[in-house]
Amino acid sequence: MIKLYNNIDKVAFITYLVLVIFGILNIYSSSFDPDYPNIFSLNGSYGRQIMWGGISLIVGVLIFLLEPDFIKKNAIVFYGICLTLLLLVLVIGQERNGAKAWFGVGSFGIQPAEFMKIAVALMIANRLSDINVNVRKKETQLYLAAIIFIPIVLIMLQPDLGTVLVFSSFILVLYREGVVGNIILIGLLYIGVVTTALIFSDTTFNMFSIDVHSKWVIISVLGILTGIIIYATTIFVYKRYRGKIMFRTALISAGAMLLVWGAVTGFKMIPENYQIRRIKITLGLLEDPKKDGYNITQALSAIGSGEFAGKGYKSATLANSTFNHVPEQSTDFIFCTLAEEWGFLGGLVLFSLLTFFIIRLIILAERQRSVFSRTYIYAVACIIFLHFTINVGMVMGVAPVIGIPLPFFSYGGSSLLAFSIMIFIALKLDADRLDIFH
């Protein structure tokens, strides 16, 4: 145990503790209740967050006591347990904010989807660490896709769009481990084309005195570009490569056209709920500042009022429990309290801390001797990065409000415990890197 303690990366561990403590202090400020002024009071969300922080540390100690290969050997068991919990929560779970995603009683609850992210990271690492696996083979890619998409389907049934988006972080992990970069580039192309199509989904263009829906304009443009690329291929590419390039160009273009048609047509057929309305607000398809756009409007006013240096700790006049100007200000919108109290400087400190932490995790990943350890730690870094960017983007109005916590800051026992387990497993694997399996 002494040897393990000496091998633990102190920089990463201290950064984790600083983030958790900083988060608790912000929760205390944002949700302060004068009837329960003691920060340790379990009647306040701050007291419960401290309790979950303590539980996280206890779980961390237990993780450090595990045998070096225990985590790898039991990755599939943990994955199976989490999948079972995702199924059960759809049947007997509590419904909160329109999503049936929680087990629990009263204010205490556990969200299985938070732990599913850890399970998927472990399973991907387990699969890629197999010496007989080639990540470029189709069967391996299909296996990895199944690992990721099976829980995505179950989480969509809750529905929890925010958690589903976080699963896209595993694409970055697969790219690091050798998945062809062209696949990711094509995926980004499709995302860009579909987003553009949705933004203009209610637009028509007058062409030669005929009203043409935007989706047909976009599809036509894609067709013209495909023709140009194919024509250029016949002139500038060697003959033996022409057929392959033409076929792939036509296939990618056909896929993009199909996605445009399907996205624009299907988006209108989806039953409208608060998440869909918030996506429409972000895309500029809907203006509703007093209902579904209310959170963004209030959040931006709180952030702006902090200006450069903020109003001081517990001096927020908008993002606090007294005025409740910003809904969910201690959970998904905790950044508003920080920005109002500490201003631009406070936001910069938070950005710097989380960026430093992510970079430190990448450094830890790169020094691993084990493929399993490297892949898992990369997955943790990517998950935190996606959570961080989407949450801040959501609060600042550049991403849809889909309910995703800010790592280590947002109030929530499941979130804090899940992130802590991620980090402690990463630190454990790193501490055992000289003795661990290959």
Per-residue pLDDT of 293-309, as tens digits, reads: 566 777 777 787 777 88
Q: Where are the domains of the chain?
A: 2-189+285-431, 202-279
Tokens describing residue 236: 């500038």
Per-residue pLDDT of 318-375, as tens digits, reads: 766 666 667 667 777 888 888 888 888 888 999 999 999 999 999 999 888 888 999 9
Q: What is the DSSP string of 247-302?
A: HHHHHHHHHHHHHHHHHHHHHHHSPP-HHHHHHHHHTTS---TTTTTHHHHHHHHH
**SS3 (DSSP) at 39:** coil
CA distance 311 to 332: 21
pLDDT given for residue 35 in this prediction:
79
Mean pLDDT of the chain: 81
Query: What average pLDDT does range 396-415 have in this prediction?
Result: 81
Tokens describing residue 294: 């209310």
The secondary structure element, H or E, covering residue 99 is strand 99-105
Most confident by average pLDDT, 217-221, 266-270, 426-430: 426-430
**SS3 (DSSP) at 396:** coil
Per residue in 361-387, is it b (16+ CB within 10 Å) or e — as a string?
bbebbeebebbbbbbbbbbbbbbbbbb
The answer on pLDDT for 399 being more than 60 is yes
